[in-house]
């Protein structure tokens, strides 16, 4: 289908590399420094203020970004216990 998948988190590069190696993911993990992308996309969980260890945590979701780099669809749900289905 020509779709490429990536994960994104605010965790350190070292933690990302360890997780990626252990989980043997078939896609890259990207670091969102200071929650810049999460904030720009408007998906940050606002329950955690700056300075809190969970600051920058996004609502779980899926973004569809077109080949032109434009966000075509965004689906994020409050909380973290329920994750949106990929389909």
pLDDT digits (tens, 9 = 90+) for 5-47: 888 887 888 988 888 889 888 888 888 888 898 889 888 889 8
Cβ(75)–Cβ(84) below 8 Å: yes
The whole-angstrom separation of Cα 55 and Cα 39 is 11
Give the global pTM. 0.69
pLDDT, tens only, 63-80: 888 889 898 888 877 766
Terminal alpha carbon distance of the chain: 14
């Amino acid at each position: 289908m020509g779709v490429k998948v990536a994960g994104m988190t605010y965790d350190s590069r070292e933690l990302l590399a360890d997780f990626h190696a252990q989980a043997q993911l078939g896609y890259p993990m990207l670091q969102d420094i200071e929650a810049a992308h999460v904030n720009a996309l408007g998906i940050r969980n606002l329950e955690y203020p700056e300075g809190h260890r969970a600051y920058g945590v996004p609502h779980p979701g899926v973004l569809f970004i077109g080949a032109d780099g434009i966000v075509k669809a965004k689906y994020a749900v409050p909380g973290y216990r329920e994750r949106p289905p990929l389909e």
